[in-house]
Amino acid sequence: MSDTDTLTIKNKSLFNIAKLPFYYGWIILLFGSLGVLASIPGQTMGVSVFTDYYIKNLDISRVEISTAYMIGTLASSLIISYAGIFFDKYGARIVAAISTVFLGLFLLIFGFSPKIIDTLTNLLKISHIVVVFIVITFGFFGIRFFGQGVLTLVSRGMVAKWFGPRRGFAVGIMGLITAFGFSFAPQPLHSMIVKFGWNNALIVIALFLLCVFFPIVLIFFRAEPNKYGMKVEQGMKEKTSKNKNKVMDAKVDKTVKEARKEPLYWVILLSLGFWSLYNTAFTFHVVSIFDGIGVSAQEAVKIFLPISVISVVSRFLASYLSDRISIKYIYIAYVVSLILASTSMMILSLEISRILLIISFGIGGGLFGMLNIVTWPKLYGRKHYGAISGFAMAIVVASSAIGPWLFSLAKKFTNSYNLVGLVGIVVASIFLVFVLRTNWNIESE
């Protein structure tokens, strides 16, 4: 067992997980979910809480900070696939620990950014706004790469590797925890800003990651079961004959190079990327979107709670079904939700469209989160999960970078968001055609 992430099984006095009276995968599920929640400072939901404070206190415009966000996120997408390769090679614990440390450090850069900017401005004798833009872009690169990218990838991938026949159920539980965590997160983050100030709130979050979550990663995160002489779901009751038709993982482990040769892989990547683009842009501009139809900012943000509820239900149901039906049918439902979400954006002035928006964004978000985990072992096996999902994450991250920018262009040139609704309908409909016509028979080959 040369894997760096492996504890020697013979060292029973330290932490022999193979001898525990229960399957360690349940611990992985719990702390993998916490890992996704720990990435919130690098997610759009977390960033958006601080955006207006950056604009006000760092003397930067909304266009400039949006551009910095896009550049930083795009830069992170260029290297995120390598994180997946490191995950396969070194395991969950080491990669997650490194990402936690660097996420904390980049949050400290934001927390101390006023002092850093003043120091660099005086030292380099260049324009203040140039220094602000460089520091903010660098900061966005760090929190997006280590938060939205690496920590999320590892936390999800770890759960996927520890479960097989029950992966759908595990992913459903994970979705239940993370969906409500994400929807609730803006409230405590805003409370911290009110209590400590925006920059001190970032410092507190960074210290929590470095002093509390980092030790948790070292103690509880683990690579896949076979690194510890265990089988997937070892000791758990085998499924009875009524579940003989369960859809299992792929019998042949494929590399990312082999996956990229298959049209299906690209259909999946682009459809996941499109949702990342659309949903990130909607979240980023939600206040402006609803302001266009006369709805206040306070009322606009309330839409996330019912969306989260539907997201949890749809994710749990789809996770359950993913062990029982071909994943193709879940992708059909997923792409249909994209079409409906786009339709709701196009007719948002109609009262009924808000109900359609809540339902479609809720279903789309729930299925997106689930498919981002279960797709890869179902179609390509567990061995190269990190590399295959890492390449997919690069597409997802890059899409999330350009989404808000594209929406802002639509608003600037048409003075509404109707155009993004029309374009979304067309693009998602094209994806539906490809999902229906592409060969899905590579499952469980």
**How far is 401 from 280, CA to CA, in rounded Å?**
8
pLDDT of residue 2: 39
**How far is 231 from 390, CA to CA, in rounded Å?**
24
pLDDT of residue 13: 34
Q: Do 19-228 and 252-437 show the same overall fold?
A: yes
- Is the CATH code 1.10.150.120 the one for domain 252-437? no
Tens-digit pLDDT string for the chain (445 aa): 334 444 333 334 345 787 888 889 999 999 999 999 999 999 988 887 888 788 889 988 877 888 898 899 999 988 888 888 888 888 899 999 999 999 999 999 999 999 999 999 999 888 989 999 999 999 999 999 999 889 999 998 899 889 888 887 888 888 888 888 887 787 788 889 989 999 999 999 999 999 999 999 999 999 888 888 888 877 777 655 454 555 666 777 888 888 898 899 999 999 999 999 999 888 878 878 888 888 876 677 778 888 888 988 898 888 888 878 888 999 999 999 999 999 999 988 888 888 999 999 999 998 998 898 888 888 888 788 888 888 888 898 889 888 888 888 888 888 888 899 999 999 999 999 999 998 887 554 4
Q: Where are the alpha helices (DSSP H) in 164-251?
A: 167-184, 186-196, 198-208, 214-220
Please report where in the chains the tokens 């070892």 appear, as a residue. 234
Burial of 255 per CB tally in 10 Å (0-12, 13-18, 19+): middle
Q: At what angle do helices 152-162 and 92-111 cross, to 10 degrees?
A: 160
| Among the four given CATH numbers 3.40.50.300, 3.40.1190.20, 1.20.1250.20, 3.40.50.12280, the one describing domain 19-228 | 1.20.1250.20
Domain boundaries, the chain: 19-228, 252-437
pLDDT of residue 138: 96
pLDDT of residue 422: 93
User: CA of 284: how far to CAs of 24, 44, 111, 314, 424, in Å?
Assistant: 38, 7, 21, 23, 17
Q: At what angle do helices 80-90 and 152-162 cross, to 10 degrees?
A: 40
* pTM as predicted: 0.77
pLDDT of residue 249: 67
